[in-house]
């Protein structure tokens, strides 16, 4: 097989929405159905810096879409308190880089509460932290930190790559009942695609974007699109690839990945994050232990993302590099 694209089955009437519109629609529907869902963060009243809250304050008012001071620690702490009091807060961090100022509340309060108090307290909080390289935004606004949160017991980690997934997985995150670190890529907001508002997706289930027998390629978030481009180049040479979009990093879909690795005998894990200690290492180690397949990883070098285009490019993992890594693995 040469790696033909696959798609999830549609369940109803589809809409052509952007990644941002899909999220805003999902959140608006959830707020209309459940008065416990509230939003807090900087600039959410005017729709968020990416338009992911567009129209929600006008629809639901300032008591449910709450503009906050510029203090990530206060925003996250207030969200944790709201969740413990029975609400379902969506906490907006603007970008994942800024979320570091609120890490104590997330790591030591939200993530651990259910365990420390024997399940008497739950923190059904969704922390939205746009991640990844943001064009010409340099080292403090272009980080991919999803592996930090995957390492943290007590939280779910979601990285949607398409408008459909951003709609369905945000709804799933709101229904989860535990704290969810929800990482949308900073450059995907304008990406358009068909969205079925009635389609439900569970957390922890990967999507098979292409099917082939020569190689298993695993990725997530925006890097899935880059991997798909690489798969197209490989298909021209008759090389079929299983392209797996994890969608959720924790829990991650071991069954789908390991089944594919066992069948193809080769695994390439690709992510935009720095390769050293990236989540790809967890996938690679698990596949090696379970299947004994040949494995390679591909991620960014351990350098800050530069501002100048020529420096920024050094931190990107492009389609040419992915295709070349796949060919080396097949040799």
pLDDT along the chain (331 residues), means of 10: 44 86 97 98 95 96 97 97 97 95 95 94 96 92 96 98 98 97 97 96 98 97 98 97 98 98 98 97 98 97 95 95 97 90
| 91 vs 219: CA distance, rounded Å | 26
In three-state secondary structure terms, 121 is coil
Residues 50 and 171 in one domain: yes
User: Residue for token digits 């492009």?
Assistant: 318
- Asked whether residue 80 is domain-assigned, the answer is yes
What is the total count of domains within the chain?
2
Q: Which of 160, 195, 230 is the last residue of a domain?
A: 195
Which of 178, 41, 37 minimizes the C-alpha distance to 111? Answer: 178
- Asked whether residue 2 is domain-assigned, the answer is no
Q: Among all residues, which ones are annotated catalytic?
A: 141
- Asked whether residue 179 is domain-assigned, the answer is yes
- Burial of 291-318, coded b for 16+ CB within 10 Å and e otherwise, reads bebbbbbbbbeeeebbeeeeebeebebe
Residues 155 and 285 in one domain: no
Residues 190 and 210 in one domain: no
Residues 167 and 249 in one domain: no
Q: Which of 127, 160, 195 is the last residue of a domain?
A: 195
Q: Is 302 left (phi over 0), alpha (psi -120 to 50) or beta?
A: beta
In three-state secondary structure terms, 228 is helix
| Residue 151 lies in domain | 15-195
Residues 180 and 109 in one domain: yes
Check residue 265 and give its pLDDT.
98
Q: How far apart are the first and last CA of the chain?
A: 18
| 5 vs 25: CA distance, rounded Å | 27
C-alpha 155: how far from chain center: 13
Residues 186 and 214 in one domain: no
- Asked whether residue 5 is domain-assigned, the answer is no
Residues 91 and 41 in one domain: yes
- Asked whether residue 299 is domain-assigned, the answer is yes
pTM: 0.94
Residues 102 and 191 in one domain: yes
| 323 vs 82: CA distance, rounded Å | 47
Structural tokens at position 22: 């899909």
Residues 159 and 211 in one domain: no
- Asked whether residue 6 is domain-assigned, the answer is no
- Asked whether residue 64 is domain-assigned, the answer is yes
- Asked whether residue 8 is domain-assigned, the answer is no
Residues 126 and 249 in one domain: no
Task: Give the dihedral sign, CA 172/174/180/183.
Answer: positive
Q: Which of 175, 195, 215 is the last residue of a domain?
A: 195
Which of 184, 227, 176 minimizes the C-alpha distance to 204? Answer: 176
Structural tokens at position 30: 């959830």
R_g (Cα) of the chain, nearest Å:
19
DSSP 3-state percent helix, strand, coil across the chain (nearest 5): 40, 20, 40
| 94 vs 310: CA distance, rounded Å | 26
* CATH classification at residue 186: 3.40.50.970
| 38 vs 243: CA distance, rounded Å | 36
Check residue 326 and give its pLDDT.
97
* CATH classification at residue 265: 3.40.50.920
DSSP H stretches of helix in 45-90: 56-60, 72-84
Residues 93 and 151 in one domain: yes
Residues 277 and 253 in one domain: yes
């Amino acid at each position: 097989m040469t790696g033909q694209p696959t798609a999830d089955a549609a369940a109803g009437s589809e809409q052509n929405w952007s990644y941002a519109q899909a999220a805003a629609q999902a959140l608006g529907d959830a707020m209309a159905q459940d008065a416990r869902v509230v939003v807090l963060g900087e600039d959410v009243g005017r729709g968020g810096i990416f338009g992911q809250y567009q129209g929600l304050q006008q629809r639901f008012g300032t008591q449910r879409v709450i503009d906050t001071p510029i203090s990530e620690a206060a925003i996250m702490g207030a969200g944790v308190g709201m969740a413990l009091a029975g609400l379902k807060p969506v906490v907006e961090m603007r970008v994942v880089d800024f979320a570091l100022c609120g890490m104590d509340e997330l790591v030591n309060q939200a993530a651990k509460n259910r365990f420390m108090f024997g399940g008497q307290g739950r923190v059904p909080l969704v922390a939205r932290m746009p991640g990844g390289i943001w064009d010409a935004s340099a080292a403090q606004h272009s980080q991919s930190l999803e592996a930090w949160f995957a390492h943290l017991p007590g939280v779910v980690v979601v990285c949607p790559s398409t408008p459909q997934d951003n709609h369905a997985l945000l709804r799933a995150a709101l229904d989860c009942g535990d704290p969810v670190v929800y990482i949308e890529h900073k450059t995907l907001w304008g990406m358009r695609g068909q969205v079925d508002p009635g389609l439900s997706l569970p957390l922890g289930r990967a999507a098979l974007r292409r099917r082939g027998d020569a190689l298993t390629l695993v990725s997530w978030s925006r890097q899935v699109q880059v991997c798909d481009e690489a798969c197209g180049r490989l298909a021209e040479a008759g090389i079929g690839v299983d392209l797996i979009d994890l969608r959720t990093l924790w829990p991650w879909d071991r069954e789908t990945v390991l089944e594919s690795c066992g069948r193809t005998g080769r695994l390439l894990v690709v992510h935009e994050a720095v390769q050293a200690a990236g989540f790809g290492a967890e996938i690679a180690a698990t596949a090696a232990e379970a299947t004994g397949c040949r494995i390679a990883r591909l991620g960014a070098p351990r350098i800050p993302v530069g501002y100048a285009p020529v420096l920024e490019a050094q931190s990107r993992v492009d389609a040419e590099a992915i295709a070349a890594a796949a060919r080396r693995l097949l040799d």
